[in-house]
């Protein structure tokens, strides 16, 4: 009897050549590094060098997070990935009433250029690649990073990294939006233009399916809605007068990796193939780099359990292996204790060691695309692709990603998937080790890392000193220029940078834009 995949697709007990009857390997696969990039975006993949081992970290104050980054670098991480607290993600200062109780909790608190300076103190920005998980205020954090680089004597052309900058998925699955979709897309187009002119090696957006998956999206939904968002961003940039091959090579993606290895590998392969065809056939991209779907992967936080947390080490290793077999460009492996609290130094080190074992103790890096030609993987790739394309067609029928969001379509589809998964788990049809099977009578005690609640008062004190010590007239002038640009068509990043250099805070800059653009109020579900 056939089992179902995470996307509800059948998985047969045995596959043979008939599963690929009429299958054109040249059209479906090609060679690694060649259109349609099913087998990977680079010809040599990990046989040349391994993926970038990028660990996501950030908590409390900039000083505490800086210490964790230095520790990760000493342990061998190849790229930093910054987690910001909720007030920063929502464009609020730490001393704003709405920030109370959330400062430094799920990431680092960044209120101004002064915090950013501390966050990257002693870390040479011309030597590290930095990813920042920030969306609505992405432009602010990027500009502060550039300003810190300038202070270090690092030219903007030497800076490498990624801002997530994917606000559409916030409306769908996560909720850390600020502005309505139209001005948000305008801001993203301004970032594309600014980076092309000023920070050419920077990845201007990481179009994310990860958070949709965390909200319950199936693999097919994850890539369908993510690629639909990507199409919306490309259309926005083209409508703003940009040539497709001028910005598309700097687009990147962000996906989850679950414990279901076969379907995850198929998902990554299908996503590459769909994107390559869309970019070439719909948008006429001629540069092969514009057709490549390059992506970062994070192991599945939603699959971590607070029960028997050490078992998460096994889950993360399996999920990391799926990402590697699927051809990821960079990888973050979750710490085993993240379902309980912030990772400890030891658990963060073990998470990194997991990647190092995969890279240097297994043979999965010895050959490009180890699963190519597997009957089950190629059939699953076709099936996931077909399911994703059908969902993408429904989004198009509603007028594209933004209109579908306003109808509540993606959110409704993901909620139905999440409900199905929860029903299966509650019924015991979906086994979760330690939760609904193989449970312990009594859990072993575990001492988690906690954030000091005094951080909120410390950040408020820093902000008070900043406001007293800065040139307020310069701040006011810069914020007024920002609002003037926001009301017109000029690129808002240039006056925004001036405001941040004058030590305007994240909240002040975002509030200036709120006055012009307003804030987003979600509609009812589809």
Nearest to residue 414, comparing CAs of 263, 276, 225? 225
Average per-residue pLDDT in the chain? 95
When pLDDT is averaged across residues 95-114 and rounded to a whole number, the result is: 96
* Per-residue pLDDT tens over the stretch 22-40: 888 888 999 999 999 999 9
Report how far residue 14's alpha carbon sits from residue 139's, in angstroms, rounded to the nearest whole number.
50
Region of 165 (left: φ > 0; alpha: ψ -120 to 50; beta: rest) is left
* Per-residue pLDDT tens over the stretch 182-232: 999 999 999 999 999 999 999 999 999 999 999 999 999 999 999 999 999
- Where do you find CATH 3.20.20.240 in the chain? 37-426
Measured in degrees and rounded to the nearest 5, phi and psi for residue 251 equal -75, 145
Number of other CB atoms surrounding residue 34 within 10 Å: 15
Q: Beta 79-83 vs 52-57: how paired, if at all?
A: parallel
* Per-residue pLDDT tens over the stretch 447-495: 777 778 899 999 999 999 999 999 999 999 999 999 999 999 999 999 9
Report how far residue 135's alpha carbon sits from residue 142's, in angstroms, rounded to the nearest whole number.
11
The neighbouring-strand residues paired with 299 are 257
pLDDT of residue 525: 47
Measured in degrees and rounded to the nearest 5, phi and psi for residue 205 equal -160, 145
| Residue in this structure with the two tokens 């993360």, named with its chain if needed | 316
Report how far residue 435's alpha carbon sits from residue 426's, in angstroms, rounded to the nearest whole number.
10
The CATH number of the structural domain formed by 37-426 is 3.20.20.240
Residue 509 CB partners (closer than 8 Å, separation 6+)? 91, 137, 140, 479, 482, 496, 499, 500
CB neighbour class for 246 (10 Å; exposed up to 12, middle 13-18, buried from 19)? middle
Structure tokens that stand for 12 in this block = 């047969």
- Per DSSP, 433 falls in state B
Q: pTM of the predicted model, to two decimals?
A: 0.93
CA-CA distances (angstroms) from residue 150 to 110, 126, 147, 236, 429?
18, 11, 5, 30, 56
pLDDT exceeding 70 applies to what percent of the chain?
A: 99
* Per-residue pLDDT tens over the stretch 312-362: 999 999 999 999 999 999 999 999 999 998 888 899 999 999 999 999 999
pLDDT of residue 524: 58
Residue 293 CB partners (closer than 8 Å, separation 6+)? 37, 41, 253, 271, 272, 275, 276
């Amino acid at each position: 009897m056939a089992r179902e995949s995470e996307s509800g697709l059948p998985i047969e007990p045995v596959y043979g050549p008939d599963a690929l009857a009429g299958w054109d390997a040249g059209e479906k696969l090609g060679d690694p590094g060649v259109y349609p990039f099913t087998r990977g975006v680079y010809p040599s993949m990990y046989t040349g060098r391994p993926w970038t081992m990028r660990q996501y970290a950030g908590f409390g104050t900039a000083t505490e997070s800086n210490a964790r980054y230095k520790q990760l670098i000493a342990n061998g991480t190849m790229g930093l990935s910054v987690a910001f607290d909720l007030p920063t993600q929502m464009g609020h200062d730490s001393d704003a009433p709405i920030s109370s109780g959330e400062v430094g909790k799920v990431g680092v608190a960044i209120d101004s250029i002064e915090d950013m300076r501390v966050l990257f103190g002693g870390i040479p920005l011309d030597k590290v690649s930095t990813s920042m998980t920030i969306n609505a205020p992405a432009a602010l954090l990027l500009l502060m990073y550039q300003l810190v680089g300038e202070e270090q004597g690092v030219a903007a052309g030497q800076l490498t990294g990624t801002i997530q900058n994917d606000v559409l998925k916030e409306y769908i699955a996560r909720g850390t939006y600020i502005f309505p979709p139209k001005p948000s897309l305008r801001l993203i187009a301004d970032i594309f233009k600014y980076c092309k002119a000023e920070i050419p090696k920077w990845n201007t957006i990481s179009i994310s399916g990860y958070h949709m998956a965390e909200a319950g999206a199936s693999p097919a939904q994850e890539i369908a809605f993510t690629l639909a968002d990507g199409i919306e961003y490309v259309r926005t940039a083209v409508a703003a007068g940009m040539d497709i091959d001028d910005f598309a090579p700097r687009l990147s993606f962000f996906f989850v990796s679950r414990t279901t290895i076969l379907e995850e590998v198929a998902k990554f392969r299908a996503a590459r193939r769909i994107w390559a065809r869309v970019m070439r056939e719909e948008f006429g991209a001629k540069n092969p780099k514009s057709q490549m779907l390059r992506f970062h992967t994070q192991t599945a936080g939603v699959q971590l359990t607070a029960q028997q947390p050490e078992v998460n080490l096994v889950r993360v290793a399996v999920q990391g292996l799926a990402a590697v077999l699927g051809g990821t460009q960079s990888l973050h492996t979750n710490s085993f204790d993240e379902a309980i609290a912030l990772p400890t130094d030891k658990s963060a080190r073990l998470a990194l060691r997991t990647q190092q074992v995969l890279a240097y103790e297994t043979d999965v890096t010895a050959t490009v695309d180890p699963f190519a030609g597997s009957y089950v993987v190629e059939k699953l790739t076709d099936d996931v692709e077909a399911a994703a394309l059908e969902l993408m067609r429904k989004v198009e029928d509603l007028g594209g990603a933004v209109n579908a969001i306003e109808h509540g379509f993606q959110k409704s589809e993901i909620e139905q998937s999440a409900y199905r998964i929860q029903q299966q788990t509650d019924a015991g049809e979906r086994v979760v080790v330690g939760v609904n099977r193989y449970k312990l009578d009594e859990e072993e005690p575990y001492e988690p890392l906690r954030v000091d609640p005094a951080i909120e008062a410390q950040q408020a004190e820093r902000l008070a000193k900043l406001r007293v010590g800065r040139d307020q007239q310069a701040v006011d002038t810069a914020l007024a220029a920002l609002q003037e640009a926001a009301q017109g068509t000029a690129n808002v990043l240039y006056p925004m940078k001036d405001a941040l250099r004058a030590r305007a805070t994240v909240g002040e800059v975002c509030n200036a834009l709120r006055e012009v653009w307003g804030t987003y109020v979600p509609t009812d579900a589809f």
